[in-house]
Amino acid sequence: MASMATWAHRLVQSIEALTLKDAGARLAAYILARATSARDGVEIDLPIAKQVIASHLGMTGETFSRLLARFEADGLIATQSRRIKLMSVEGLKEIAEFGK
């Protein structure tokens, strides 16, 4: 029963994120969730193809790439292939919470 409740809670969170948050907020939250510690300079590796992550976040691959480019231009992240370096955790947190 507990595992079903946990599963249902995760589904509700996913539905809320997809309906109430914009694509930038969803991507920022995903990046922060992948980080082992939320501090500037931390690097993360994307575990699967960008297209699959984009689909999981409810956006197209093109939107995903544009958002990564925008985050990089804004100084929030630095990217190199499938590796993302967090440059401004506070900026990402703000986008994840309030959108942009």
Q: Is the pLDDT of residue 20 over 60?
A: no
Q: Is the pLDDT of residue 27 over 70?
A: yes
More confident residue, 36 or 42: 42
The average pLDDT across 36-46 equals: 88
pLDDT in tens, 50-82: 999 999 998 999 999 999 999 999 999 999 989
Helix 61-73 vs helix 23-34: angle between axes, to the nearest 10 degrees? 70
Tokens 């955790």 correspond to 89
Measured between alpha carbons, how far is 7 from 41 in angstroms, rounded to an integer?
A: 33
Domains and CATH numbers, the chain: 22-98 (1.10.10.10)
Tokens 């409810």 correspond to 58
Q: Is the pLDDT of residue 18 over 70?
A: no
pTM above 0.75, yes or no: yes
